[in-house]
Amino acid sequence: VPTLLRASVREASGAAAPLDPYMHMLGHALVLRSDGAVFAHVHPAGTLSLAAARHFAAKSGGEAAARAVEALCGDLEVLPQPEAAELSRKGEIGFPYVFPTPGAYLIWVQAKVRGTVVTGAFRLQVGPPAPGPAR
């Protein structure tokens, strides 16, 4: 089942913490099943390899296509400044992910606030998928 993992970075006052680009994105997440059978490094655009996407876009459509792919994948350095600033000020990050199997998971989320990398750690129990409609 597709899921959107959401993280919210807050100041001590409870206000949204403005996020700085961290390795070109709003944040990064690691997903690990507790038995080690599942590991994923996830970006706000999902598990897509930005380097691979950029390579194939450049090969088929040139440098302009490669830059467009970077923007679509969440690279804050190529987004128009007003869009990047709007995303940053909310202090929120979403990571699309599909858990491949039920189980106990550990999730780490990293973001950068005022030049400092902050890390949140979470535990999540994932159950089996809900039964679908009968066919």
CB 54 within 8 A of CB 66: yes
Residue 94: its pLDDT value, please?
A: 86
Query: In the chain, what are the domain boundaries?
Result: 2-126
Give dist(CA 8, CA 90) in Å, integer: 8
Output the pTM of the full model. Answer: 0.74
Give per-residue pLDDT as tens, 9-56.
999 999 999 998 888 788 899 999 999 999 999 888 766 666 666 666
Give dist(CA 2, CA 126) in Å, integer: 12
Question: Among 2.60.40, 1.10.8, 1.10.3470, 2.60.120, what is the CATH number of 2-126?
Answer: 2.60.40
Could you tell me where the DSSP H helices lie in the chain? 50-72, 81-89
Give per-residue pLDDT as tens, 34-44.
999 999 998 88
